[in-house]
């Protein structure tokens, strides 16, 4: 009986020792795109943003979307990446792990902070603050290595 | 101690959802049962507290500026289309435009639009509004809200720039929202749940995102 318990405990310990480094080192791939939405006489969408064009229908009043900046980063669990946004604001994204096929992030822009769980490889948007005659939209795409590849992954 | 049956019926009565027979039964309890009366009063207090909160929130919203934006949306005769990328900027399916579209041409536009807007907007207060079964770990101090949308996990095919790409799920949930000022609301296109979530944070500028300036 005791022997069996030790065997099981040893197996569990072994799995933990072998498996934990792989889990701990699993990174998430984050892609941030800063998009400037404006209204102009000649509507346009930057070629880099063509994939997101369908979503732009949901930003009423704007007909021109241009890529102001973008960054790709790899984050380990608990790590935070930072990106400067126009107007002296900062965007911070913290990788908080994975759960049931979702990538968990803490997103901060200016005075707004929130937790977001996004489907692996999925994208979410933050829209809001005024910039240079338009509004700035932030597109955040996240994919975690531990959840595997995703069709739309960056 | 009040029974489950009584609790349910009292709640239904309070919301005006009881049949005449049930109403008569409840009214009988209210006359004869102190516990039922206490429960009924408690329901009343909850409703009063909610009404007070809504009133407070409404006072903080610059409806004048919001309505100005609604009017400008309504007055647009032709939706903007992009010649550069065909069929990308056609009629919008956003919550905001649906609010506008729903009431255009109706005599009670301001009131109706405001009421719907209030439902769509999540104000910066401390109460929790959870619309999904998000992770318990996701909670954080401060205002919490969550929004989700059903979406296809299997993935279908959609045309994009001449190539067929497997549709990607953009299902997302938001919680632990903290902000000091302004208004936050979550926009999910209910007609197309595979569309990504948009979290709007409109700072105290007295304007709605529907205008570009």
What tens digit of pLDDT does each residue of B24-83 get? Answer: 898 888 888 888 888 887 777 665 555 555 556 556 666 566 666 666 665 554 443 333
Number of domains in chain A: 1
pLDDT: is B65 or B169 the higher one? B169
Question: Would you say residue A1 lies in a domain?
Answer: no
pLDDT at B200: 86
Lowest mean pLDDT among B33-37, B177-181, B188-192: B188-192
Strand runs labelled E in A1-88: 28-38, 44-45, 64-75, 80-85
What ranges do the domains of chain B cover?
1-60, 65-213
Question: Would you say residue A109 lies in a domain?
Answer: yes
Return mean pLDDT, chain B.
Answer: 57
pLDDT at B103: 34
Nearest CA in chain A to B172: A118
Question: Would you say residue A102 lies in a domain?
Answer: yes
Return mean pLDDT, chain A.
Answer: 83
For A:54-93, CB contacts with B below 8 A are 54-63
Least Cα distance to A34 among A153, A129, A154, A148 occurs for A129
pLDDT: is B44 or B114 the higher one? B44
Q: Give the confidence band of A6 by pLDDT, cuts at 50, 70, 90.
A: confident
Tokens of A136: 């700035």
Question: Would you say residue A38 lies in a domain?
Answer: yes
pLDDT over 90 (residue A91):
yes
Is the minimum CB–CB distance between A129 and chain B shorter than 8 Å? yes
Least Cα distance to A62 among B101, B69, B110, B61 occurs for B69
Give SS3 for B141. Answer: coil
pLDDT at A128: 77
Average pLDDT of the segment spanning A116-144: 90
Q: What domain range is A127 assigned to?
A: 28-147
For B:103-122, CB contacts with A below 8 A are none
Average pLDDT of the segment spanning A11-17: 59
Cα–chain center distance at A75: 10
Q: Does ipTM surpass 0.95 in this model?
A: no
Lowest mean pLDDT among A11-20, A99-108, A117-126, B13-22: A11-20
CB B129 within 8 A of CB B146: yes
Question: Would you say residue A11 lies in a domain?
Answer: no
pLDDT at B126: 31
Nearest CA in chain A to B72: A61
Contact A111 B179 (CB under 8 A): yes
What number of residues does chain A have?
Answer: 154
CB pairs under 8 A between A and B: 182
Distant-in-sequence, close-in-space partners of A134: CB < 8 Å, separation ≥ 6: A36, A37, A38, A39, A62, A64, B212, B213
Tell me which residue in A112, A116, A117 faces B201 most closely, judged by beta carbons: A112
The C-alpha atoms of residue B95 and residue B199 are separated, in whole angstroms, by: 12
Residue B64: burial class (beta carbons within 10 Å; 0-12, 13-18, 19+)? exposed
pLDDT at B56: 61
Is the minimum CB–CB distance between A103 and chain B shorter than 8 Å? no
pLDDT digits (tens, 9 = 90+) for A136-148: 999 999 998 887 6
Question: Would you say residue A9 lies in a domain?
Answer: no
């Amino acid at each position: 009986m005791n022997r069996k318990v030790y065997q099981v405990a040893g197996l569990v310990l072994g799995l933990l020792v072998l498996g934990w480094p792989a889990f701990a080192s699993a990174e998430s791939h984050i892609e941030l795109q800063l998009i400037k939405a404006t209204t102009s006489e000649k509507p346009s969408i930057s070629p880099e943003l063509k994939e997101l064009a369908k979503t732009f229908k949901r930003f009423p009043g704007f007909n021109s979307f241009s890529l102001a900046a973008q960054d790709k980063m790899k984050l380990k669990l608990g790590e935070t990446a930072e990106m400067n946004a126009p107007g002296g604001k900062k965007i911070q994204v913290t990788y908080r792990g994975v759960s049931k096929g979702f990538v968990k992030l803490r997103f901060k822009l200016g005075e707004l902070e929130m937790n977001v769980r996004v489907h692996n490889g999925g994208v979410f948007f933050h829209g809001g603050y005024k910039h240079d005659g338009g509004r700035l939209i932030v597109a955040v795409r996240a994919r975690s290595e531990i959840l595997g590849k995703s069709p739309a992954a960056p | 101690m009040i029974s489950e049956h009584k609790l349910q019926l009292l709640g239904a009565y309070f919301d005006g959802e009881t049949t005449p027979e049930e109403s008569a039964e409840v009214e009988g309890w209210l006359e004869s049962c102190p516990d039922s009366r206490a429960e009924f009063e408690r329901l009343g207090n909850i409703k009063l507290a909610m009404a007070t909160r809504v009133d407070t929130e409404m006072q903080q919203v610059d409806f004048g500026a919001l309505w100005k934006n609604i009017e400008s949306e309504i007055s647009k005769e032709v939706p903007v289309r992009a010649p550069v990328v065909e069929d990308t900027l056609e009629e919008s399916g956003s919550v905001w435009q649906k609010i506008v579209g729903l009431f255009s041409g109706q005599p009670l536009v301001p009131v109706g639009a405001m009421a719907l807007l209030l439902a769509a907007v999540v104000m910066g207060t401390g109460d929790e509004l959870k619309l999904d079964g998000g992770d318990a770990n996701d909670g954080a101090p401060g205002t919490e809200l969550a929004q989700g949308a059903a979406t296809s996990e299997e993935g279908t095919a959609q045309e994009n720039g001449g190539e067929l790409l497997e549709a990607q799920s953009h299902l997302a949930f938001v919680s632990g929202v903290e902000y000091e000022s302004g208004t936050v609301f979550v926009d999910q296109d209910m007609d197309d749940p595979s569309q990504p979530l948009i979290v709007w944070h409109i700072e105290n500028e007295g304007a709605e995102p529907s205008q570009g300036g």
